[in-house]
Amino acid sequence: MERKNALSNLLSFLLFIPVSFIVVVLIFIRMFIALALGVEDILLSENLYRIGSEFGVLLALVLSMVGIYIFSVILHELGHFLFGLVTGRRFKYIGFFGFAVIRGTDGRLKFRRLKIRGAMGFCCMLPRNNEEKTIPLAFYLLGGCFMNFLLFCLFSLAFLFYFGNFLLIFSLLLGAIFNIVVFLRNILPFYSSFVESDGRQLYTFLHYPESTKAFAKNELIDELIFDGKTLREMPNELFEPICISDIVTRTQAVFMGNCASRLLEEGRVEEAKKLMDDLLLYQLDLPVAVHVCLSCERIVLELLSSFPDRERVAQLYDKTLKKRMKTMAISTTVQCATYILSLLYERDTFTEGKSCYYFEYYAKKSLYPAGVELERKMMNEAKRRSLNSEKAEN
């Protein structure tokens, strides 16, 4: 996984080569158009450096960059939304930069905070019959990329033929650059340990069509969670397991993670532990967030078992997991695990109090109250065992 991340980061960095080439081509075409029309181009003006070095202009350029970036992300997600409508999908939620508009079971739209690690924007459009088909799904996934490519073309045309205000000229060029970068970063099948790009998902579904079933089930599970359903209240047919040896995509691994969480909610602890071990030990391509939550849940189950295996806990609670838990501090699952670890494993009273406070703080914002309540019960059980242990020692 680390090697894949390193390679993906290298390829992302190398994107500057085609992007730089595109920028140079645009500037040269603009110069020829200016010469052909007999128009003075400020990009060729000797006063360009003086104008560009003024503080007000520099500030305006920075604000322009931020504004264009936000605009590009929003239009990318709206592209998914529009293509989803065209292919007959139904709207569930759309969000940007930690805020989302969610459609409830009553059809009303709700505005709330929602953050997906690794994604500046996100859109969820569900198939009408809860069954994914490859071609409509491909159009839906490509909707955002199409919108960015369209914006790149529009910004480029405006840049080529507009010879007025200096700030607007550079804003148009920045708009072209941002959108071609977003287009390439999403259309190419780059690997990411957090959120897969549209191109990566499309590549997966075209090569492994069977994974579309798991994708549809994951979408439906998310929808029911948003509607206030617990995993154990959901239909059994939604959680038909996949053999671990048959899992070939991240989507399937995430689905089995949902199955493990459901087993835990149903009180089938030993089955949940076995499935979690299989998912973690087989080194499946789990997103970082899912891997961290599964690892935390598995640690908690081990520490709360009748005969805790401290070696198994140490194996799971390694340096990588500790580092990732810090980056996912807003997760109640992480805070629950940190609290129980501080009580039953590390004996750290300071971390115990801190994690308890943050657990309750983030619990108020959780989209899944049933999961929070289960975690709270496990924290209370850990506290009870800790007190009994102290009494026995005294």
Percent of the chain whose predicted confidence (pLDDT) is above 70: 87
Q: Do 344 and 364 contact (CB within 8 A), yes or no?
A: no
Total structural domains within the chain: 2
- For residue 8, pLDDT over 60 is answered with no
Q: Given this model, what pLDDT does residue 338 score?
A: 93
pLDDT of residue 150: 94
Give the whole-angstrom CA distance, residue 325 versus residue 334: 6
153 and 169 assigned to the same domain? yes
The average pLDDT across 107-130 equals 75
Same domain flag for 133 and 253:
no
Mean pLDDT for 332-349 is 88
Strands 121-126 and 99-103: unpaired
- Percentage of residues in the chain having pLDDT higher than 90: 11
- How far is Cα 186 from Cα 142, in angstroms, rounded to an integer? 9
pLDDT at 283: 60
Same domain, 37 and 66: yes
| pLDDT for 248 | 80
> Taking residues 89-108, what's their average pLDDT?
79
pLDDT at residue 256 is higher than 70:
yes
Residues 107 and 224 in one domain: no
What is the average pLDDT score of the chain?
Answer: 82
pLDDT of residue 193: 62
| Contact between residue 123 and residue 77 where contact means Cβ atoms under 8 Å apart | yes
* pLDDT class of 337 with cuts at 50, 70, 90: very high
User: What mean pLDDT is predicted for residues 219-224?
Assistant: 84
Cβ neighbours for 279, distance < 8 A, ≥ 6 positions apart = 244, 253, 256, 257, 260, 286, 294
Instruction: Tell me: do 241 and 102 sit in the same domain.
Output: no
Last-in-domain residue among 187, 205, 223: 205
Same domain, 120 and 254: no
Both 52 and 144 in one domain: the answer is: yes
Q: Report residue 242's pLDDT band, with 50, 70 and 90 as the boundaries.
A: confident
**Residue 48 confidence (pLDDT) above 60:** no
* Residue 266 backbone dihedrals phi, psi, to 5 degrees: -80, 0
pLDDT at 45: 56
* Same domain flag for 200 and 227: no
Range of the domain at 353: 210-393
Residue 199: is its pLDDT beyond 80?
A: yes
- pLDDT tens for 52-73 read 555 566 677 778 888 888 888 8
Last residue in a domain, options 205, 226, 254: 205
Q: What is the pLDDT of residue 192?
A: 65
Return d(Cα 390, Cα 323) in angstroms, integer: 30
Mean pLDDT to the nearest integer, 233-239 = 87
Residues 345 and 313 in one domain: yes
* Residue after which a domain boundary falls, among 149, 174, 205: 205
Section 229-243 average pLDDT: 86
* pLDDT over 80 at 107, yes or no: no
Same domain, 363 and 314: yes
Residue 199 sits in the same domain as residue 289: no
Predicted pLDDT at 128? 75
Distance, CA of 130 to CA of 216 (rounded, Å): 6
Residue 157 has pLDDT above 90, yes or no: yes
pLDDT bucket at 208, cuts 50 / 70 / 90:
confident
